[in-house]
Amino acid sequence: MAVAKERYIVNEKGERIGVLLDIEEYKEILEKLEELDEIRAYDEAKESEDEAIPFEEALKEMERKRDKDV
């Protein structure tokens, strides 16, 4: 991931209240977060004593959980 140039939105007091990102940086961050979610789910499943399920089914379950949380 490339180093992003920091650009902030500030309020009338000069306090940072937001960040501006190029759309490509934003998309890359989202992809990395999704990848991290998948790695965490894999690690949790590996540590669990539950019955194994196919990978594709696990991904669908993660997506359902994520949609429910949003």
Tell whether 3 is covered by a domain: no
pLDDT value of position 1: 52
Tell whether 2 is covered by a domain: no
Summarised one tens digit per residue, pLDDT across range 5-60 is 789 999 999 999 999 999 999 999 999 999 999 999 888 878 877 777 788 888 88
pLDDT value of position 50: 74
- Are residues 18 and 9 in contact, defined by beta-carbon separation less than 8 angstroms? yes
Tell whether 41 is covered by a domain: yes
For residue 23, the enclosing domain spans 8-69
Alpha carbon distance 68, 44 (integer Å)? 19
User: Would the pTM of this model clear 0.85, i.e. be above it?
Assistant: no
pLDDT value of position 34: 93
pLDDT value of position 2: 60
Alpha carbon distance 26, 30 (integer Å)? 6
Tell whether 1 is covered by a domain: no
User: Based on the structure, what is the number of domains in the chain?
Assistant: 1
Alpha carbon distance 64, 70 (integer Å)? 10
Helix (H) or strand (E) holding 19: strand 16-19
Q: Please compute, for residue 63, the number of CA atoms within 13 A of its CA located in the half-sphere on the CB side.
A: 6
Tell whether 37 is covered by a domain: yes
pLDDT value of position 24: 92
Tell whether 62 is covered by a domain: yes
